[in-house]
Structure 1
Amino acid sequence: MESDEVRELQVKKDLANLARTLTPDNLNPAIMFTKARGIRSCTPAITTAAENGSVSERLKRVQMPAE
């Protein structure tokens, strides 16, 4: 089990990353949009409703993440 100090340090690191302002100096589009990590690789293709069924049918197939 992690100690409180280790957990607190990790929280501070996470907050620093979340609160960082993106500037041209720390923004690297070459990394953000590579084929392996690009937005297209992590989102499903957008297709018409006729191909995938109605919205209610698609919502039935949504799976909640396991806890």
Structure 2
Amino acid sequence: MAHALTANTITFPIIARLRGTIENFRADRALRREYDATCAQLMAMSDRDLNDINIRRGDITDIVRKHVYGA
């Protein structure tokens, strides 16, 4: 029985790290989906509409990156 407990305590940190990695991957993927969707929406706008909100087409990716990732 002691051997079984030792095996469980050894594998637990590995499972916890794996779960953490999966959660981080999912969070990163959700941020990427938000980034892609926001870029697509802004890119679909006309130059006139972008000018109305004071955004140049070349600045879209930088603006969206700051908005989504906070960088």
Fold match by TM threshold 0.5 = no
Give the structure with the higher percent helix: 2
Structure with the bigger RCO (C-alpha within 8 Å, sep 6+) is 2
TM-score bucket (shorter structure): 0.3 to 0.5
| TM-score where L is the length of structure 2 | 0.31
